Amino acid sequence: AAAASAAAAASGADSPPDGPTAVIVSVEGRTYPVDVFYSAKPVRDYVASAAECVASLALANGSRGFGYGDVLVFMPGQEEVDRCCRAIKDLVTGGEQQARLVGLPLYGG
């Protein structure tokens, strides 16, 4: 989003009349127990593999529901984050997990 804003400013585009549209989220530091999972072998498409892993975790939780825990996936850039969120949505669309699984992209900056 910052690159798009910088490009718009460089092209002479006007700012939105209501001011900036980005929201900055600050999270207090807390620690929670975390389970870390790694692939046993290299994968061809790490974004698709991560999405499949998230979908399988949602299915594995079964009747406990996805609210049993959250899944945090780290990706190197915004494009990969967006692609992973789309892939997760595509994998669970129409299934029981669709109502319980919500992708919330967060971008570092």
Q: Give Cβ neighbours of residue 71 (< 8 Å, ≥ 6 apart).
A: 54, 57
3-state secondary structure of 5: helix
Per-residue pLDDT of the chain (109 residues; tens, 9 = 90+): 333 333 334 444 455 566 667 777 777 877 778 888 888 999 999 999 999 988 888 777 655 554 566 788 999 999 999 999 999 888 877 666 566 677 889 888 7
The whole-angstrom separation of Cα 63 and Cα 68 is: 10
The whole-angstrom separation of Cα 15 and Cα 33 is: 43
The whole-angstrom separation of Cα 85 and Cα 91 is: 10
Tell which phi-psi region holds residue 74, choosing left (phi > 0), alpha (psi between -120 and 50) or beta: beta
pLDDT of residue 5: 32
pLDDT of residue 33: 81
pLDDT of residue 86: 92
pTM of this prediction?
0.63
